[in-house]
Structure 1
Amino acid sequence: MKVSFSIPGRPVPKQRPRVGKNGSIYTPKNCKEYEKKVAEVAYTVFRRPYAGPVALEINLFLTSRPGDLDNYVKSVSDGLNKIAYLDDRQVVELKAKVIVQTGITERAEVTIKALPLAL
C-alpha cells in the first residue's frame, strides 16, 4: 500500500532544542508548529499507523535557498510519528530532495509505502 499527500506552506527544518531562562529544555515554537501541521495533514490520510517497515519519500518545494536536507526530513518524519507509522525507526528506505525554484508554491510532498516484512 502506498499513500501520497502534500503539506502546504514552507517546510521548516528541525532545530536543536533550546535551553530556557529557567534551565528547561524546549523545542523552538516554529518547529513544533510545523510538526503539528504535518500531523494534522497525516491524520486526514491515515486511519491507523503502519506497523511494519516503510519507505519514505519527501520532495521539498522551496522558493529560496534551503537549510540542511536532513533537518527538513527530521521535521516531517517526527510529525508523522504515531500517525503514519508507530515509530520513525520503521523507516528503512528514505528518498528526499529539495527543488528550489522561484514562482512555485512552497510545500512538502510525502509518499509512504508499506514494505513487506523481512523474514
Structure 2
Amino acid sequence: MLKFIIPGRPISKSNFKLSNKSGQAWLPHKGKYSKYAAYENYIAGIINQEYFGPPLEENLITILKLYFPNKRMGDIHNYPKSICDGIEKSGIILNDKQLKPFLILDYIDKDNPRVEIELYKSSEYNLIYQIQTK
C-alpha cells in the first residue's frame, strides 16, 4: 500500500478550463487560470519525494480522501481528474486508467485541508464494500 498526503485545499480541474473560438477546451500554464497546472506539478512533486521505485504497471485500487476547509466544496466528482493527472505526471504510473476501482470520500477539516491518496496493488488487495440499511 502506498499513501501520499497532499497538503492544502483540493483543486478541481473544471474551474480552470478555458475554451478557444472553436469550443476546444485547454488549460493555460500562465496567468490566473494556471493554478491547475501548478497543482498537478505540486502533487507530482510530493509523490516523487516519497516514492523511488519503478513505475507501477498494474491496476491500483485507489482511495481518495478529500479534506476541505469548509462546506464549499463544489461538485466532488471534478476533483479526481486533477489528482489523477498529478499522479500520472509523477511517473509512478504509466496511465491514470490504471487507477481502478476508485473510491472518493469527502470530509471537513478546517485546520488541515488536504488530499490523502491510497494506492493498493490489485494483485495483492481486494476492495470489498457493503451498503447497509440504517
Report the TM-score when normalising by structure 1. 0.83
Cα distance in 1 for partners of 2:34, 2:122 equals 34
TM-aligned CA deviation for residue 44 of structure 1: 1.4
Query: Secondary structure of 1:81's match?
Result: helix
Query: Secondary structure of 2:13's match?
Result: coil
Larger Rg: 2
Query: Secondary structure of 1:67's match?
Result: coil
Aligned to 1:78: 85
Aligned to 2:30: none
Cα distance in 2 for partners of 1:25, 1:53 equals 28
Cα distance in 1 for partners of 2:77, 2:56 equals 23
Q: Which one of 121, 124, 127 corresponds to residue 114 of structure 1?
A: 121
Cα distance in 2 for partners of 1:30, 1:79 equals 13
Q: Which has a greater percent of strand?
A: 1
- The gaps in structure 2 that reach 5 residues or longer are 28-32, 125-134
Cα distance in 2 for partners of 1:33, 1:40 equals 10
- The gaps in structure 1 that reach 5 residues or longer are none
TM-aligned CA deviation for residue 6 of structure 1: 0.4
Aligned to 2:37: 32
Q: Does residue 1:60 correspond to 2:66, yes or no?
A: yes
TM-aligned CA deviation for residue 108 of structure 1: 0.5
Give the count of matched residue pairs: 114
Amino acid at match of 1:54: L
Cα distance in 1 for partners of 2:51, 2:87 equals 10
User: Sequence identity of aligned pairs in percent?
Assistant: 25
CA offsets per residue over residues 23-81 of structure 1, 9 Å max, x none?
Answer: 98531311111111111011112223211111111101111220211211111001001
The CA RMSD measured in Å over matched residues stands at 2.2
Query: Secondary structure of 1:92's match?
Result: strand
Report the TM-score when normalising by structure 2. 0.75
CA offsets per residue over residues 71-95 of structure 1, 9 Å max, x none?
Answer: 1111100100152211011112111
